Amino acid sequence: MNNNLYPWQEQAWKKLLGMRIKLPQALLVYGPEGIGKLALAECFAQLLLCEAAGILKAPCGTCEGCRWFLAGTHPDLRRLEPESLARLRQTNQDQDEDAPAVSKTQKPSTEIKIDQVRSLDGFLNLRSHRGRQRVVLVHPAEDMNLNAANALLKGLEEPQAQAHFILVSHRPARLLPTIRSRCVALPVVLPDLVAAGAWLKAQEASDWEAWLAFAGGAPLRALEYASGAGESIARLRKALQGKDFETLGAVNDREQVEALAEVLQKHALNVAMESYCGRSRYGQAAGSAQAAAWLRYARQMGRNRLLASHPLNPRLFAADMIAGMPKY
């Protein structure tokens, strides 16, 4: 097993290794958020660029290709990610001089834009710097806006020799069907609770059982919550349990609005699942005679989570979400 990967990724890694026999031009790695899909895709990209002799089962980590990859300066790798993730990097001014500059004054974009995709033209049409593969890593792929997605589709329809795309997606249904049809799909599933729990205990995550339940079984997401990112969520969950609607409505920024929408969505799903099948997914919840109404409310909260990053009045948005909550 590759030491750079998580313990539950062994089967997915074996499938990736098998794909090297006939490497697809486009690979779609998809699954729930918080299970390490990006780390899996990055490790495979590093393996494709590794210059060690022989067919390895993991990147060597010591050749020039691996050193450049780990330093984020490999000339045969490009990343397409939203500015807000701080993952789009320019390898250097000479190698990536056509890439759009990241603004230091405007708020970072939450989308992958068409200019980012167009900046790949020179990269894809030139020969590899190292005489090996060229790799484009797109993450999360569903964050491409429509123009960017159509531009990427053109690149998939006109494949270049030794150029390969690795798309990582939390929500593959949001991708264009024409993009999905041109990719070889690799589903990555949630780890079993025993493996996830053992890993979280090894990380010394506090209250890991509760956070793993709230994260829907995704261990990386649970660790993020346990490490401090879940502080506002814990406060909102406590207020919801105590029906403290004043606290729930006292949000003053978009991050809190998104956290509120997540808490309300998962609570609504818990109520509906407890009502329909006698068990919940994201923690404890009581059932309700209005299970269908709670399910519709959960769907609306899912849409609100996507809207939370757009310009809005946080307090009015929070008040509207709370006002729409079904009765028990």
- 43 and 183 fall within a common domain: yes
Tokens representing residue 181 in the block: 């049809």
Q: Reduced to 3 states, what is the DSSP secondary structure of residue 327?
A: coil
Q: Which of 153, 187, 221 is the last residue of a domain?
A: 187
What per-residue confidence (pLDDT) applies to 91? Answer: 36
Residue 101 lies in a domain: yes
- 128 and 240 fall within a common domain: no
Beta bridge partners of 186: 29
Residue 253: give the domain boundaries.
Answer: 230-323
- Residue 53 carries which side chain, given as an amino acid letter? A
For 250-259, which contacts have Cβ atoms below 8 Å and span 24 or more sequence positions?
A: 250/315, 251/314, 251/315, 251/318, 252/314, 252/315, 253/314, 254/308, 254/309, 254/312, 254/314, 256/232, 256/314, 256/318, 257/308, 257/312, 257/314, 257/317, 257/318, 258/305, 258/308, 258/309, 259/232, 259/233
Average pLDDT over residues 274-283: 80
- 244 and 151 fall within a common domain: no
Rg (C-alpha) for the chain, rounded Å, is 22
- 22 and 126 fall within a common domain: yes
- 161 and 247 fall within a common domain: no
Q: Which of 161, 187, 213 is the last residue of a domain?
A: 187
Domains in the chain, number: 2
What per-residue confidence (pLDDT) applies to 65? Answer: 93
Average pLDDT over residues 237-257: 86
- 161 and 240 fall within a common domain: no
User: Residue 281: CB partners within 8 Å, gap ≥ 6?
Assistant: 213, 216, 266, 269, 270, 273
- 174 and 45 fall within a common domain: yes
Which range (10-14, 144-148, 306-310, 318-322) has the least confidence? 306-310
pTM of the model: 0.85
Residue 214 lies in a domain: no
Token look-up 């200019």 returns 115
Residues 33, 174: Cα–Cα separation, whole Å: 14
- 169 and 40 fall within a common domain: yes
Nearest by Cα to 34 from 298, 230, 184: 230
Q: Which of 187, 219, 239 is the last residue of a domain?
A: 187
Residue 241 lies in a domain: yes
| Phi, psi at 99, each rounded to 5° | -70, 145
Please write the tens of the pLDDT for every residue from 136-182. 999 999 999 999 999 999 889 887 888 999 999 999 999 999 999 99
Does position 104 have pLDDT exceeding 60, yes or no? Answer: no
- 177 and 239 fall within a common domain: no
Average pLDDT over residues 285-298: 84
Residue 297 lies in a domain: yes
What are the C-alpha distances in Å from 20 to residues 14, 25, 30, 222?
10, 11, 19, 33
- 31 and 109 fall within a common domain: yes
What are the C-alpha distances in Å from 294 to residues 235, 260, 270, 273?
22, 16, 9, 9
Ramachandran region, residue 174 (left: φ > 0; alpha: ψ -120 to 50; beta: rest): alpha
Token look-up 């209005």 returns 290
Which of residues 191 and 310 earns the better pLDDT score? 191
Please write the tens of the pLDDT for every residue from 19-63. 988 899 999 999 999 999 999 999 999 999 999 867 778 999 999
User: Residue 187: CB partners within 8 Å, gap ≥ 6?
Assistant: 30, 31
Residue 168 lies in a domain: yes
Residues in the chain: 328
- 178 and 238 fall within a common domain: no
Residues 43, 6: Cα–Cα separation, whole Å: 11
Q: Contact 133/76 with Cβ under 8 angstroms?
A: yes
Residue 213 lies in a domain: no
What per-residue confidence (pLDDT) applies to 1? Answer: 56
- 237 and 180 fall within a common domain: no
